[in-house]
Amino acid sequence: MKRIELKDQLKGTLIVPICLGIILVPFSMLIGWNLMSLFLFWFVLIPTFTLYLPTRISKNKSHVVESLVGLMIFYGIMVFMIYKHYKTDYFKIMILSFAINFLLVAVITLNRMRVTKTLT
């Protein structure tokens, strides 16, 4: 792998946790956490931005690794930050959203790759 490609892939990977963190702070400060905002953030915004951000930053055609590694980094940071609250329902929803979002992002990006390959 060329050095430029590696840098490009690294940018595509790191943009996911950085931007999700930037979105998380004002979301939690301004809106707060209730059941609706919890599901909106963890089940709608997270997968949407995880799929969208690497395509804007990285020039690679395959964004599976970038999206999934970025998602794992973000959830790893989140678990590290709030591990003392592991018995709360919010923590359980966050962990459940990781499993669902990981599968969802993997299926969508792999499906996109398959469709792109058949078109070319």
DSSP codes of every residue in the chain? --HHHHHHHHHHHHHHHHHHHHHHHHIIIII---HHHHHHIIIIIHHHHHHHHHHHH---S--HHHHHHHHHHHHHHHHHHSGGGTTSHHHHHHHHHHHHHHHHHHHHHHHHHHHHHHH-
Query: What's the one-letter identity of residue 10?
Result: L
**62-95 tens-digit pLDDT:** 778 889 999 999 999 998 888 777 788 888 888 9
Task: Check pLDDT > 70 for residue 120.
Answer: no
pTM: 0.86
**pLDDT at position 102, please?**
95
Rounded to the nearest 10 degrees, the angle between the axes of helix 46-57 and helix 64-81 is 130
Q: Residue range 4-28: average pLDDT?
A: 88
Q: Which domain holds residue 14?
A: 3-119
- Distance of alpha carbon 35 from alpha carbon 55, whole angstroms: 30
Count the domains in the chain.
1
- Distance of alpha carbon 99 from alpha carbon 96, whole angstroms: 5
Task: Check pLDDT > 60 for residue 1.
Answer: no
